[in-house]
């Protein structure tokens, strides 16, 4: 691996859930295949470019748009994605790209389509139990689909090359992992509740969680609350906690999330594939509220897979009778006061961890590059 020479392009991102697995694999390749050049293309979002450039990789913005929700958006969808396709095609030729890695989401489509047109192999990363539109569109031409869940196969056309690798995670999540035998002690330590609505925050969690914690009252007295609210809602969420008399650390994005997960005893979160993989690596029990508007309800499918292992409790906003904050308070009270149940859930989380995922995906990429070089030679 250390002597391999090529240029790998990671395409897509947009959110932490898509971007960070790609950065994890890129970091692994940089350390173990130092002669492989690595570049990223994406949507141009500040979040995406900031983290890619901070990691030391080249970043290029490509025109692209998500699948239109209204007919009036169809023309822009077509024109921007066609422009993105041709821009990606030029870049692949000029930079002599040897392989493209699609990170999921609409931003991975132009580069993967361009790769296919130039007979450049591409690999797809799929974080969710139900594959997204991009994965379904691109699956038949992919050299490999590196999946977190085995049950994505029925949702793809026959012959799709699925490899169940797990979801690649940043190195910080894999360092100092708590052994299963030490989970009871860790969960009995200082009491910290972690609230996560994804990299962009979640308006519903920002509104409902503070109210639920207020109603939980004495049971959660003394718990430290750390809440990732997103850039848009951070001030409003912090003010709500203040009005309710709850001491909480509220941030737009939690930079030290791996450490915070190791220090926490309970989480309340959405059910994105990468978030759940991070919870599993950290052995952190969780109350999960799947995003109701997620495409094809894929967050609910993710949550069900983890619930089946006893790793989390699901609260679906669409199914709760009465007020959501009341029901959330009830579940938080139950879990905060039941150490044994939290330990069982943490053990369920740990059973779903895939600490070798990053290495497996990187080795899949290297094997394809080596095969391509031999065929060209």
Q: Which CATH number fits domain 178-351: 3.40.50.2000, 3.10.129.10, 3.90.1150.50, 3.40.50.150?
A: 3.40.50.2000
Contact between residue 286 and residue 268 where contact means Cβ atoms under 8 Å apart: yes
Q: Give the residue among 55, 33, 30 at the shortest CA–CA distance from 42.
A: 55
DSSP symbol at 297 = G
pLDDT of residue 201: 66
How far is the C-alpha of 147 from the C-alpha of 246, rounded, in Å? 40
Predicted TM-score (pTM) of the model is 0.92
Residue 86 to residues 79, 118, 143, 290, 304, Cα–Cα distance (Å): 11, 12, 21, 36, 40
pLDDT of residue 106: 83
As assigned by CATH, the class of the 6-170+355-376 domain is alpha beta
pLDDT of residue 123: 98
- Per residue in 273-285, pLDDT (tens digit) is 999 999 999 999 9
Contact between residue 91 and residue 59 where contact means Cβ atoms under 8 Å apart: no
**150 confidence band (pLDDT: 50, 70, 90):** confident
pLDDT of residue 197: 83
Instruction: Compute the residue count for the chain.
Output: 377
Contact between residue 263 and residue 190 where contact means Cβ atoms under 8 Å apart: yes
**257 confidence band (pLDDT: 50, 70, 90):** very high
How far is the C-alpha of 48 from the C-alpha of 293, rounded, in Å? 22
Q: Whole-angstrom distance between the N-terminal and C-terminal Cα of the chain?
A: 18
Asked which of 87-96, 159-168, 241-250, 365-374 is least confident by mean pLDDT, the reply is: 365-374
163's tokens: 């490899």
Residues facing 164 on adjacent strands = 147
Portions of the chain given CATH number 3.40.50.2000: 6-170+355-376, 178-351
Share of the chain above pLDDT 70, in %: 97
345's tokens: 């859930």
pLDDT of residue 375: 61
- Per residue in 48-75, pLDDT (tens digit) is 999 999 999 999 988 777 777 777 777 7
Q: At CA 175, angle to CA 129 and CA 144, rounded to 5?
A: 35
Is residue 377 over pLDDT 60? no
Is residue 115 over pLDDT 80? yes
Structure-model confidence comparison of residues 193 and 62, the more confident one: 193
**Where do we find the tokens 């990671």?**
10
pLDDT of residue 374: 62
């Amino acid at each position: 691996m250390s002597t391999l020479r090529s240029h790998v392009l990671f395409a897509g991102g947009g959110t932490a859930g898509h971007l960070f697995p790609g950065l994890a694999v890129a970091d692994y390749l940089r350390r173990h295949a130092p002669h492989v050049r690595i570049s990223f293309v994406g949507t141009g979002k500040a979040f995406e470019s900031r983290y890619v450039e901070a990691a030391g990789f080249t970043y290029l913005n490509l025109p692209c748009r998500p699948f239109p929700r209204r007919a009036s958006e169809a023309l822009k969808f077509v024109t921007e994605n066609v422009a993105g396709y041709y821009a990606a095609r030029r870049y692949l030729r000029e930079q002599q790209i040897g392989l493209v890695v699609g990170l999921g989401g609409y931003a991975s489509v132009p580069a993967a389509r361009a790769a296919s047109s130039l007979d450049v192999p591409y690999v797809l990363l799929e974080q969710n139990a139900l594959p997204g539109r991009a994965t379904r569109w691109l699956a038949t031409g992919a050299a490999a689909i590196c999946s977190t869940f085995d049950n994505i196969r029925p949702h793809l056309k026959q012959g799709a090359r699925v490899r169940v690798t797990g979801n690649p995670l940043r190195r910080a999540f894999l360092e100092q992992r708590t052994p299963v035998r030490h989970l009871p002690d860790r969960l009995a330590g200082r009491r910290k509740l972690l609230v996560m609505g994804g990299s962009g925050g979640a308006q519903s969690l920002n509104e409902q969680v503070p109210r639920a914690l207020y109603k939980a009252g004495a049971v959660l007295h003394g718990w430290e609350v750390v809440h990732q609210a997103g850039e848009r809602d951070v001030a409003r969420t912090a003010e709500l906690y203040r009005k309710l008399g709850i001491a909480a650390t509220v941030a737009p994005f939690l930079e030290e999330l791996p450490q915070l997960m190791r220090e926490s005893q309970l989480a309340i979160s959405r059910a994105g594939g990468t978030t759940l993989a991070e919870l599993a690596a950290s052995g952190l029990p969780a109350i999960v509220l799947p995003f109701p508007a997620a495409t094809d309800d894929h967050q609910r499918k993710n949550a069900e897979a983890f619930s089946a292992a006893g790793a989390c409790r699901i609260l679906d906003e669409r199914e709760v009778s009465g007020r959501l904050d009341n029901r959330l308070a009830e579940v938080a009270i139950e879990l905060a006061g039941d150490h044994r149940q939290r330990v069982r859930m943490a053990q369920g989380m740990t059973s779903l961890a895939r600490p070798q995922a990053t290495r497996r995906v990187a080795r899949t990429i290297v094997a394809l590059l080596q095969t391509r070089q031999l065929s060209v030679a």
